[in-house]
Amino acid sequence: MNILDRYHAMEYGPAPEARNEADAWLAARDFGKALFIGGDWKAASGGKTFETSEPSSGKLLAKISDANAVDIDAAVAAATKALPKWSAASGYQRAKVLYAIGRAMQRHQRLFAVLETIDNGKPIRESRDIDVPLAIRHFIHHAGWAQALDKDFPGHKGVGVVGQIIPWNFPLLMLAWKIAPALAAGCTVVLKPAEFTPLTSILFAEICERAGVPKGVVNIVQGGPEAGGAIVNHPGIQKIAFTGSSEVGKIIRKATAGSGKKLSLELGGKSAFIVFEDADLDSAVEGLVDGIWFNQGQVCCAGSRLLVQEGIADALIAKVKTRMSRLRVGSPLDKNTDIGPLVDATQLERVKGLVAEGARQGAVCWQPDAALPSSGYYHLPTLATGVSPANILAQEEVFGPVLATMTFRNTEEAIELANNTRYGLAASVWSENVNLALHVAPQLKAGVVWVNGTNMFDAACGFGGYRESGFGRDGGREGMFEYLAAKLPLGQIIKPATTSAQPVEQADGSAIDRTAKLFIGGKQVRPDGNYSLAVATAKGKLAGEVGLGSRKDIRDAVSAARACRGWPEATAYNRSQVLYYLAENLSGRAAEFAARLTELTGASAKAAREEVEQSIERLFLYAGLADKFEGRVHQPPARAVTLALHEPVGVVGIVAPDSSPLLGLISLVAPALAMGNTVVAVPSERYPLLATDLYQVIEYSDVPSGAINIVTGRSAELAGVLAKHDDVDGLWVFADAETCAQAEAESIGNLKRIWSGNGRGLDWASDEAAGDAFLRRAVEVKNVWVPYGD
Catalytic residue positions, numbered: 266, 300
- Tally of CA atoms within 13 A in the half-sphere of 340 that contains its CB: 29
Alpha carbon distance 406, 305 (integer Å): 7
Q: H or E segment at 264?
A: strand 262-266
Question: What is the CB neighbour count within 10 angstroms for residue 410?
Answer: 11
Whether the CB-CB separation of 382 and 401 falls below 8 Å is answered with yes
The neighbouring-strand residues paired with 474 are 463
8: helix, strand or coil = helix
Alpha carbon distance 44, 206 (integer Å): 18
Alpha carbon distance 270, 401 (integer Å): 13
* Cα 539 from chain centroid (whole Å): 47
Of 335, 309, 389, the closest CA to residue 126 belongs to 335
Question: What is the CB neighbour count within 10 angstroms for residue 726?
Answer: 14
Alpha carbon distance 159, 475 (integer Å): 17
Handedness of CA 604, 605, 609, 610 (dihedral sign): negative
Count of H helices and E strands in the chain?
A: 29, 34
Of 277, 500, 308, 300, the closest CA to residue 418 belongs to 308
171-185 and 132-152 helices, crossing angle to 10°: 20
State the Cα angle at 392 between 347 and 467, rounded to 5°.
Answer: 90
- If DSSP states are collapsed to H, E and C, what string results for 460-479? CCCECCCHHHEECCECHHHH
Whether the CB-CB separation of 217 and 80 falls below 8 Å is answered with no
Q: What is the dihedral of CA 157, 163, 167, 168, to 10 degrees?
A: 110
Distance from the first to the final alpha carbon of the chain: 37
Alpha carbon distance 608, 93 (integer Å): 49
Taking CA atoms, 371 is separated from 8, 124, 220, 347, 379, in Å, by 21, 20, 40, 20, 10
Whether the CB-CB separation of 670 and 697 falls below 8 Å is answered with no
User: Could you give the residue ranges of the DSSP H alpha helices within 589-655?
Assistant: 590-601, 605-625
Beta strands 262-266; 364-366: pairing state: unpaired
Alpha carbon distance 712, 697 (integer Å): 17
Alpha carbon distance 696, 286 (integer Å): 58
440: helix, strand or coil = helix
500: helix, strand or coil = coil
406: helix, strand or coil = strand
Instruction: Round the CA-based radius of gyration of the chain to a whole number and report it.
Output: 28
Whether the CB-CB separation of 684 and 575 falls below 8 Å is answered with no
